Structure 1
Amino acid sequence: MNEVCVVDAAKPSAVSEKTAPAFIDAAGIGAEQILNIAHLCMRLLQSGHGQARLSYWQERTAKELMMAHLGSAIQISAIAKECALSRSHFSRAFKNSTGHTPSAWLLLARLTRAKELLTQTDWAISQVGYECGFADQPHFTRVFARELGMTPGKWRMEKKTAQDQPQRHDPPSQPIGIRSIIQQAHGSTANRN
């Protein structure tokens, strides 16, 4: 009964997303149960089912707080406190729930609001950036261009140009009207004979 079983299991490394070996040393009568539990835990970690997620009310609260403070600075720790979580646990659970880190989600919300203001108002670009929580116009332009591939001014101009142009409709492949109905009727009767 002094047999020793060593299992090499892959677990995520704290330093990188790659897996690092974890050695589990078990001896005695309960060794097989310990190893089975270890394998089960490793499969859960690898499948992602063991990841922390926000509850519905926590996700809603976090998003509402971020939207309410879109034009100003808000600390992630303050949002985490409102969700009754530590900052690190909140950040991890938020990413698992939404697919974005809290700061990335906030940036996307700010850019979405900026696009709305650019199309719905004639405000200066600096004013739009300020209203969306950016420090100044160069910062707003830099972030907007990095995320959307063009500056806010160019984006606004393209949207307004697209709105000013009449919608182009391609002509139908078949003529519409009495003649087409008659042609279809004669064609269908000709095919019957």
Structure 2
Amino acid sequence: MTRLLHPSIQSSLRANDSFAGGVLTCKCQEKPVKVKIEGGIAHNHACGCTKCWKPEGAAFSVVAVAPSENVTVIANGDKLAVVDPSALIQRHACNECGTHLHGPVERDHAFRGLSFIHPELFGTNDWPAPSFAAFVSSVIEGGVDPSEMDGIRANLREVGLEPYDCLSPALMDFLATWTAKKNGVLAA
């Protein structure tokens, strides 16, 4: 069995370093929530965690970050609610269709000032492709049979995504550096 990774990455990836933002739109047919992203996005990746919003049937979400100051709700924001107020990422989802539109990090953390978004909600295919897969083992927590994991990892590699059971090495280094500076181990 070949599990659906995510519709936007299943068959091919594309690069677009010149992406300058756009409007994310929830899945509602009437009065959709719209969130404007000004400027580019970064650290786009496939995510296997059980907290991220995924399209129907997909084992992974596709998620990237944008500076929170570049994220503005421009339509029907009254339909948004935070999914889990105790979570680091304050995922704002449409209370009608369930689509996650943006998730700012507001507390003291290396990712503070960033908002997590789902680029497939731009409605175009000109955003940068994911560059890695994170929290791959977590798909088991979402119901994937452990016997499928070798095939899933092979499929991720076939489409050009290195699978990690945490974040990419560059992001893990960023987190560790932030923590070391905060704790005075490294100079700020």
TM-score band, normalised by shorter chain = under 0.3
TM-score (norm 2): 0.24
**Greater RCO structure (CA 8 Å; 6+ sep):** 2
Q: TM-score, length-normalised on structure 1?
A: 0.23
- For the pair shown, the structure with the greater C-alpha radius of gyration is 1
Quick check: which one's helix share is greater? 1
